Every structure is written in C-alpha cells, then in structure tokens.
A = this chain, B = another copy of it.
C-alpha cells in the first residue's frame, strides 16, 4: 500500500498512468513522446510504477509493452479513501461547531 501511495505522489508518474489509461499497451519510447525528460528518467518512473504493481509489462520482441493495472488504485479507494468518506460529514460538522465555539 505504501509503495502505491509513493508511486502516485509524483505528477510525472500520474501522467504516465493517464497516458496508459488513454491508450493501453504502449512502448517505452511511445510513452516518452512529448515529455520533457530523458528516456532513462521515464524508465525509472515506469520501474517504480511496476514495483507498485500499477503497471505490468510484456516483452514483444525488442519492444516492451506497458499495461495499466487499475487494481491497486481501486484498492486505495476501497481500503483507504472510503474510510474517510464515512466520517466526512461528522468531521466537518464537528469542525464547524468548534469554529463557532471560538467566538463565545
């Protein structure tokens, strides 16, 4: 879980996921296109995404195809975000109550 959060913390990596979301199964060079970064930097980012299991790769000859794995993202939503949704209204009204109490 920690690896996933860490992987998602970087905007370049999130944009790589976006690109794979738009078009799945891209090669490294394809993913490099238009990015202000060297190919090696992209390789590192993809490595981190792969380590976090957010991306799966498949070799096809000399090409390496990158596929998005949406499962860990879904898990973050289920196991983490939803927990805070439940308490959401309660937390906000408690805060509001305290803010008002301040002026007494």
Contacts and interface: CB of A to CB of B under 8 A. Distances in A.
A94 B22 CA distance: 13
A9 interface: yes
A85 interface: yes
Could you say how many copies of this chain the assembly holds?
2
A98 B67 contact: yes
A65 B6 contact: no
Interface of A: 2, 5-6, 8-9, 11, 14, 17, 21, 24-25, 56, 58, 60, 65, 67-71, 73-74, 76-77, 80-85, 87-88, 91-92, 94-95, 98-99, 102
25 contacts: A5-B11, A9-B9, A17-B84, A21-B83, A21-B84, A21-B91, A24-B95, A25-B94, A25-B98, A60-B102, A67-B91, A68-B84, A68-B91, A68-B95, A69-B91, A69-B92, A69-B95, A70-B85, A70-B88, A70-B92, A71-B88, A74-B84, A74-B85, A77-B77, A77-B85
